[in-house]
Amino acid sequence: MKGLVYSLFPFMAWIRFISKESVKADLIAGITGAIIVLPQGIAFATIAGLPPEYGLYTAMVTPIVAALFGSSRHLVSGPTTAISIVILSTVSQHAVPGTPEFISLAITITFLTGVYQLAFGLARLGVLVNFVSHTVVVGFTAGAAILIATSQIKNMLGVYIPNGETFFHTWMDIATQLGDTNFFILFIALLTLTLAIVLKKYFPRVPNLLLVLVFSSFVSFVIGGEDRGIEVIGAISSNLPVFAAPDFSFAVLKKLAPEAFAVALLGLIEAVSISKSIATKSSQRIDSNQEFIGQGLSNVVGSFFSRYAGSGSFTRSGVNYTAGAVTPLSAIFAAIFLLIILLLVAPLTAYIPVAAMASVILLVAYNLIDFKQIKHILVNSRSEASILAATFLSTLFIELEFAIYMGVMLSIIIFLARTSTPEIVDLAPRYDEANSRQVYLIFGYTQRRNAPRSKSSVLICQFTSALLRIFRLR
The count of other CB atoms within 10 Å of the CB of residue 130 is 11
d(CA 119, CA 403) in angstroms, rounded, equals 23
Domain's final residue, options 399, 417, 435: 417
Q: Same structural domain for residues 308 and 429?
A: no
Report pLDDT for 424: 60
Report pLDDT for 378: 92
Report pLDDT for 454: 54
First to last CA, the chain: 58
Q: Same structural domain for residues 345 and 369?
A: yes
Q: Chain centroid to CA 314: how far?
A: 7
Q: Same structural domain for residues 372 and 428?
A: no
Taking a C-beta distance cutoff of 8 angstroms, is the pair 294, 73 a contact? no
Taking a C-beta distance cutoff of 8 angstroms, is the pair 440, 426 a contact? no
Q: Same structural domain for residues 16 and 47?
A: yes
Q: What is the pLDDT along the chain (474 residues), one digit of tens a residue?
A: 566 666 677 888 788 878 889 999 999 889 888 888 888 888 899 889 999 889 999 999 999 999 999 989 899 999 988 899 899 989 998 999 989 999 999 999 999 999 999 999 999 888 777 777 778 888 888 888 898 889 889 999 998 888 767 888 889 999 998 888 999 999 999 999 999 999 988 988 788 888 898 899 999 989 988 888 888 887 777 777 878 889 999 999 999 999 999 999 989 988 888 888 788 777 788 888 999 999 999 999 999 998 899 998 877 888 888 888 889 999 999 999 998 888 887 777 778 898 998 898 888 888 878 899 999 999 988 888 988 998 899 888 887 778 888 888 888 888 777 777 666 655 555 545 555 554 544 444 444 444 455 555 555 555 556 555 555 444
Domain's final residue, options 392, 417, 442: 417
Q: Same structural domain for residues 331 and 386?
A: yes
Phi, psi of 78 (to 5 degrees): 155, -160
Among residues 261, 325, 317, 272, which one has the least CA distance to residue 294? 272
d(CA 54, CA 48) in angstroms, rounded, equals 10
Torsion angle of C-alpha atoms 87, 144, 205, 318, degrees rounded to 10? 80
Q: Same structural domain for residues 327 and 443?
A: no
Domain's final residue, options 373, 397, 417: 417
Give me the amino acid identity at 203.
F
Taking a C-beta distance cutoff of 8 angstroms, is the pair 311, 267 a contact? yes
C-alpha triplet 471, 472, 474: angle, nearest 5°:
125
Q: Same structural domain for residues 334 and 438?
A: no
Q: Same structural domain for residues 447 and 337?
A: no
Report pLDDT for 324: 85
Strand partners, 311: 78
d(CA 41, CA 274) in angstroms, rounded, equals 19
User: pTM (2 decimals)?
Assistant: 0.78
Query: What is the span of the domain harbouring residue 455?
Result: 423-471
d(CA 135, CA 370) in angstroms, rounded, equals 11
Number of domains in the chain: 2
Give me the amino acid identity at 214.
V
d(CA 318, CA 76) in angstroms, rounded, equals 9
Helix (H, G, I), strand (E, B) or coil at 130: helix
Q: Chain centroid to CA 266: how far?
A: 8
Q: Same structural domain for residues 210 and 335?
A: yes
Among residues 191, 146, 188, which one has the least CA distance to residue 166? 146
- The length of the chain is 474
Q: Same structural domain for residues 340 and 467?
A: no
Strand partners, 78: 311
Give me the amino acid identity at 461.
C
Report pLDDT for 430: 54
DSSP state letter for 126:
G
Q: Same structural domain for residues 198 and 305?
A: yes
Taking a C-beta distance cutoff of 8 angstroms, is the pair 91, 102 a contact? yes
Taking a C-beta distance cutoff of 8 angstroms, is the pair 120, 148 a contact? no
Taking a C-beta distance cutoff of 8 angstroms, is the pair 25, 324 a contact? yes
Q: Computed over its alpha carbons, how large is the radius of gyration of the chain? A: 27
Q: Same structural domain for residues 377 and 458?
A: no
Among residues 106, 55, 144, 110, which one has the least CA distance to residue 357? 55
SS3 per-residue string spanning 9-68: CCCHHHHCCCCHHHHHHHHHHHHHHHHHHHHHHHHHHHHCCCCHHHHHHHHHHHHHHHHH
Taking a C-beta distance cutoff of 8 angstroms, is the pair 364, 81 a contact? yes
The count of other CB atoms within 10 Å of the CB of residue 446 is 16
Report pLDDT for 445: 44
